[in-house]
Amino acid sequence: MTLRHMRIFVAVCECESVTAGAEKLFIAQPAASLAIAELEEYYGVKLFDRIARRLYITEAGKQFLQYAIHIVSLFDQLEQDVRNWDQIGVLRIGASITIGNYLLPEYAKAFQKLYPAIQMHVQIDNTEAVERAVLKNEIDVGLVEGEVASSYIEKICFMEDPLVLICSVDHPWAVREDIDINELRGVDFIMRERGSAGREIFDQALRVKKVEVVPSWQSVSTQAIIRAVAEGLGVSVLPNLFVKESLEKGEIASTRIRGLDLKRSFSVIRHRNKFLTEAAKSFIRLCTGEDSMI
C-alpha cells in the first residue's frame, strides 16, 4: 500500500463520497474507486458498506482511518519541516471553556517564554468538540474536563475542580449548609449546554440517584448563567473556577447537595498515534507540573 492510497481513503471519508473525494484531490473518480478497492483487497476487509448508492464507513474502516489520518499528516509535516526548516513552527492547542478561560493563559505565557519563535493556535470549545479535533488531527494537544470516549485518546489527569450548586443571595438555600437531592425536583435550573463536562457529570449523578431535572435555561455562556442566577431566575451547578470570584464578591451564594461529591478532572489529551514535537511535549509537561512555570 502507498501513501497515495491512504490519502485517497482519507479524502473519500472526509467528503463522504468517492466522486467528491476525487475532485478534492484533482484525480478521476475511477482512479479513486480503484484505490479504495485495492485497499479492501489488500487488507481483506470491507472499508465501506455501499447502500442505496451511498457510502457508510465500516468499523474496520473507522479503525483504518485513525491510522491513515496520522500517517498522511506525519508525512505532510515531514515535507513541511524539511522544506521549511528555518520557518517558525506552530503548536495547535484545544481547550475546554473552563480551562481556556482560567488556566490556559498561564500555560501559554510560560510556554512562550520557553519557545518564543513558536506560534500557538488555540481553539476553545466544549470537551466533546476538543476530543473530535484531536481525533481529526486538527489540534496537537487538548486540555479537557471530565472523561473522553475514544480508545484512540491518551490522557493525563493534572487537576481536579469541584462543581458548586449556586443560587441568588435571596434564595432560601443561600443560608443553608446543604440540601437533600430530592429538593432539586421542580426547581428552575439554568445550565450549561449538553456536551460540557460539568453538565455531563451533574446529569450522570442525577441519573444514579433517579432524580430528573429539566433546565429552564441552557447557555454556552457561564457569565450569562451566573448573572441569571444572581437575579433570582433559577439555580445552577457550575465549576468552582467559574464561580469563585462571584462568590467572594457576595454576588451569589452556594450550598452543597447532601451525599453528592461532584468533581471533574482536568486532563491533557493527545491521539495515541500522534507524533509530538519536543515543544509539544514541553507544553504537556508545563500543564502537568513536570516543568515549573517560568
pLDDT of 174-185, one tens digit each? 999 999 999 999
pLDDT at 75: 86
pLDDT at 289: 84
Write the DSSP string, 110-142: HHHHH-TTSEEEEEE--HHHHHHHHHTTS-SEE
Mean pLDDT of the chain: 89
Q: How confident is the model at residue 82 (pLDDT cuts 50, 70, 90)?
A: low
Query: What would the mean pLDDT of 231-247 be, rounded to a whole number?
Result: 93
**Rounded CA gap, 207 and 191, in Å?**
16
Q: Domain 159-264 belongs to what topology?
A: D-Maltodextrin-Binding Protein; domain 2 (3.40.190)
pTM of the predicted structure, to 2 decimals: 0.60
Q: How confident is the model at residue 292 (pLDDT cuts 50, 70, 90)?
A: very low
* Residue 91 in this model has a pLDDT that exceeds 60: yes
pLDDT at 155: 92
Task: Identify each DSSP E strand in 128-195 by its residue range.
Answer: 141-145, 153-167, 178-179, 190-192
pLDDT at 173: 96
* Residue 99 in this model has a pLDDT that exceeds 70: yes
Residue type at position 163: L
Cα dist from 131 to 30, 148, 263, 277, whole Å: 34, 7, 20, 20
Query: What would the mean pLDDT of 91-111 be, rounded to a whole number?
Result: 92
| Contact assessment for residue 198 and residue 245, using Cβ atoms and an 8 Å cutoff | no
Percent of residues, the chain, with pLDDT higher than 90: 63
CATH number, domain 3-83: 1.10.10.10
pLDDT at 1: 78
Domain coordinates of the chain in residue numbers?
A: 3-83, 95-156+272-288, 159-264
pLDDT at 191: 93
* Residue 294 in this model has a pLDDT that exceeds 50: no
Angle, CA 156 vertex, CA 290 and CA 282 arms, to 5°:
40
Q: What are phi and psi of 142, to 5 degrees?
A: -120, 145
What Rg value do the Cα atoms of the chain yield, rounded? 23
* Residue 279 in this model has a pLDDT that exceeds 80: yes
Residues 228, 230, 233, 235, Cα dihedral to 10°: 100
Q: Any idea what DSSP says for residue 270?
A: E
Please give the grid coordinates belonging to residue 37: 478497492
